[in-house]
Structures are given as C-alpha cells and as structure tokens.
C-alpha cells in the first residue's frame, strides 16, 4: 500500500485516502466555485488538517482554487446582476474569506470601470427611490450603503 509522508507532523496517510478526500473536495468546488477559505471551513471538521492542507495545495496548483479569479468573476456577477456600491462589493468579498489586500488590489486595478458602475448603480437606485423619497433622503440612503459622495453627486445631477 502506498503512503505519503507529511512534511510538518510526519503523519502518514495512504494515496487512496488522499484521493478519496480530494474527490469530495473537488465535487464541492465543481458544483459552485469556492474560495480557499470556504473549502477550509467546510472540510476542517471532516478531513485531517494536514491532508486538507495538501488537498488545497494540489487544487491550487491545478487551478481549481484561484481566489484572484474568484474575485474577478464575483465582481463581474455583481456588476451584471446587482446595484451595489464598491464598498458593499468589498464587504461581500471579505465575507467569503478572501484576502483583503488581494481584493483591494483588484478594486484599484479596475477603479475606473467600478466607479462608472457605481454611478450607474446609484442612478438606478435614485430612479427606483424617487417615487417615495426626496432627493436628499436618497442621497443619505446611498451614503449609508457605502457609495462615494462624488459618485452620488454625479448620479443625482444626471
């Protein structure tokens, strides 16, 4: 029977055990794209810590887990489907367990596109809320949602 020696604690497990657990994790990821943190949280109680670490490393090398790609796809989904401020996007990504610096880098790299989206989103909300709310109330609502004042003003002007 083949075994694999662990670097850290020298715990041994068989290749068959590794493959069996790797298959479980892979099914979880293929059903819906997941972050590294989501995988850790889901399997930390059912898979040995060292084996889980090896599985995650394997899946990262095989590009099944790619947090940067996850950020990009998630932001594109938000843009296509929701009216969110850049701050709201950032908080939702952080809640997924993604690295804050990686999120901030992505948002900075795509700043112009995201600001245009935020203005468009604020316009959509302004239009929807204009029936029931005064312009100043809408402005306060957008500020509470994390919209940048500059983008709110642009949306309110048009």
pLDDT, one tens digit per residue, over 44-97 is 999 999 899 999 999 999 999 999 999 999 999 999 999 999 999 999 999 999
Q: Could you tell me if 40 and 97 lie in one domain?
A: no
- What is the domain extent for residue 16? 3-61
Token representation of residue 135: 């312009």
Candidates 75, 99, 76; CA nearest to 87 is 75
Buried/exposed code over 75-99 (b: 16+ C-beta within 10 A; e: otherwise): beebbeeebbbbebbbebbeebebb
Q: What is the pLDDT of residue 8?
A: 47
Instruction: Compute the average pLDDT of residues 145-151.
Output: 94
- Provide the domain count of the chain: 2
pLDDT at 106 over 60: yes
Q: What is the pLDDT of residue 1?
A: 37
Q: Could you tell me if 76 and 116 lie in one domain?
A: yes
Q: Could you tell me if 33 and 104 lie in one domain?
A: no
Q: Could you tell me if 75 and 9 lie in one domain?
A: no
Which of 14, 46, 61 marks a domain boundary?
61
Q: Could you tell me if 117 and 48 lie in one domain?
A: no
Q: Could you tell me if 49 and 103 lie in one domain?
A: no
Which of 61, 78, 109 marks a domain boundary?
61
Q: Could you tell me if 74 and 146 lie in one domain?
A: yes
Q: Could you tell me if 54 and 118 lie in one domain?
A: no
Q: Could you tell me if 84 and 31 lie in one domain?
A: no
Q: What is the pLDDT of residue 158?
A: 74
Q: Are 66 and 60 in contact (CB under 8 A)?
A: yes
Which of 61, 76, 103 marks a domain boundary?
61
Q: Could you tell me if 87 and 149 lie in one domain?
A: yes
Q: Could you tell me if 45 and 73 lie in one domain?
A: no
Q: What is the pLDDT of residue 11?
A: 61
Q: Could you tell me if 136 and 84 lie in one domain?
A: yes
pLDDT at 154 over 70: yes
């Amino acid at each position: 029977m083949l075994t694999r020696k662990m670097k850290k604690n020298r715990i041994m497990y068989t290749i068959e055990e590794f493959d069996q657990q790797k298959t479980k994790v892979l099914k979880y990821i293929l059903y819906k794209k997941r972050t590294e943190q989501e995988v850790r949280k889901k399997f930390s109680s059912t898979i040995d810590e060292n084996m889980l670490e090896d599985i995650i490393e394997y899946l990262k090398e095989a590009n099944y887990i790619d947090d940067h790609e996850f950020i990009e796809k998630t932001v594109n989904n938000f843009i296509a489907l929701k009216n969110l401020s850049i701050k709201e996007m950032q908080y939702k990504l952080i809640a997924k367990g993604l690295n804050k610096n990686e999120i901030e880098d992505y948002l900075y790299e795509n700043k112009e596109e995201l600001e245009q989206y935020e203005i468009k989103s604020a316009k959509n909300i302004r239009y929807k809320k204009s029936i029931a709310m005064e312009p100043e109330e809408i402005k306060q609502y957008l500020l509470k949602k994390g919209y940048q004042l500059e983008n709110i003003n642009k949306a309110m002007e048009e």
